[in-house]
Amino acid sequence: QKEVEQDPGPLSVPEGAIVSLNCTYSNSAFQYFMWYRQYSRKGPELLMYTYSSGNKEDGRFTAQVDKSSKYISLFIRDSQPSDSATYLCAMSEVHAGKSTFGDGTTLTVKP
């Protein structure tokens, strides 16, 4: 069983919708939680990171971590066609340099 499981998708939503992307994990030693966005044929781009339970907001993006349930989420408000990409969750124990990734969820936002 994988250490990090991500909702597989694909996900297709209309422009302006709220998107919820989710991952669960089994390794209780994970301390850092990250979300990346990856466009086709590009490297992953760091969207948000956090290391505590609770919510962290950055513009239209909110990262949520629940360590007791080993569950993390990324919410995207007012989704835009430019948000269409693959979203990857990632986690690490001590520092970000050794991260374990989910398989990614491909999101399409339709105009």
Partner 1 sequence: KAGVTQTPRYLIKTRGQQVTLSCSPISGHRSVSWYQQTPGQGLQFLFEYFSETQRNKGNFPGRFSGRQFSNSRSEMNVSTLELGDSALYLCASSIVDEQFFGPGTRLTVL
Distance CA 78, CA 66 (A): 24
The type of residue at 76 is I
Q: Does 51 bind partner 1 (CB under 8 A)?
A: yes
Q: Does 104 bind partner 1 (CB under 8 A)?
A: yes
Q: Which residues, at least 6 apart from 67, have a Cβ–Cβ distance to it below 8 Å?
A: 28, 53
Q: Does 95 bind partner 1 (CB under 8 A)?
A: yes
Q: Does 46 bind partner 1 (CB under 8 A)?
A: yes
Q: Does 88 bind partner 1 (CB under 8 A)?
A: yes
Distance CA 44, CA 89 (A): 11
User: Rule CB under 8 A: which residues touch partner 1?
Assistant: 32, 34, 36, 42-46, 49, 51, 88, 90, 95-104
